[in-house]
């Protein structure tokens, strides 16, 4: 049987610069915590790794820890357990088989870290019940801008809903829909 998820809220943000995206990441980092799962979707070069690095850099700065933030493209998993919250950055681009997912041990990671996952569509049927998803789309008008689609799936935290509401008001979002619909995930 296919997994069904309820999208509780969705926010579309059009034409955001890298500076704006960095600001959104910083603001989101203020409310994320251990156990939260952030999915970053989009084509190669869409800004997923940039967004993840912005969040991780924020936690490193707050913790006064200075280290590189390498892409986990080849290692698949990069952990930062010397900061609060502990962060695990996962890049599933090179995953081909579900057996490889078992080797990573995502369920244990989800419980013990704030988990940021690039290429979450590679999870197949191993999608968790709750997550925040941000989809990055190139803005055809300008190479340096992106359209973002932020979805809350199975999340009912006031702080995250408040984040979306304030984001809408502060950035002047063009489209805001609060609706319930079923999202079919593979």
Residue 6 or 107, more confident: 107
Helical ranges in 30-145 per DSSP H: 48-62, 98-104, 106-112
Q: Predicted confidence band at 1 (pLDDT cuts at 50, 70, 90)? A: very low
Listed in sequence order, the residues at least 6 apart from 25 whose beta carbon sits closer than 8 Å to its beta carbon are 51, 54, 55, 58
Q: Are 10 and 161 in contact (CB under 8 A)?
A: no
- d(C-alpha 136, C-alpha 143), whole Å: 13
Kindly tell me if the per-residue pLDDT of 46 is higher than 90. no
| Short-list 155, 139, 141, CA closest to 39 | 155
Average pLDDT, stretch 111-139? 90
- pLDDT, one tens digit per residue, over 48-105 is 999 999 999 999 999 898 888 888 877 889 999 999 999 999 999 988 777 788 888 8
Kindly tell me if the per-residue pLDDT of 116 is higher than 50. yes
Residue 60 or 9, more confident: 60
Rounded to two decimals, what is the model's pTM?
Answer: 0.83
Average pLDDT, stretch 146-164? 84
pLDDT at 119: 94
Percent residues over pLDDT 70 in the chain:
78
């Amino acid at each position: 049987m296919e997994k069904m998820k309820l999208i509780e809220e969705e926010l579309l943000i059009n034409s955001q610069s890298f500076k704006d995206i960095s600001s959104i990441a910083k603001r989101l980092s203020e409310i994320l915590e251990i156990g939260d799962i952030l999915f970053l979707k989009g084509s190669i070069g869409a800004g997923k790794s940039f967004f993840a690095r912005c969040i991780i850099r924020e936690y490193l700065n707050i913790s006064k820890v200075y280290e590189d933030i390498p892409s986990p493209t080849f290692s698949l998993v990069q952990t930062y357990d010397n900061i609060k919250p502990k962060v695990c950055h996962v890049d599933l681009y090179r995953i081909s088989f579900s057996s490889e997912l078992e080797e990573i041990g995502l369920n244990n990671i989800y419980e013990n870290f704030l988990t940021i996952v690039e290429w979450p569509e590679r999870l197949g049927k191993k999608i968790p019940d709750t997550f925040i998803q941000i989809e990055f789309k190139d803005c055809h008008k300008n190479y340096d801008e992106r359209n973002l689609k932020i979805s809350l799936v199975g999340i009912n935290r006031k702080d995250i809903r408040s984040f979306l509401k304030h984001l809408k008001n502060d950035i002047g979002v063009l489209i805001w829909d609060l609706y319930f619909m079923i999202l079919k995930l593979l």
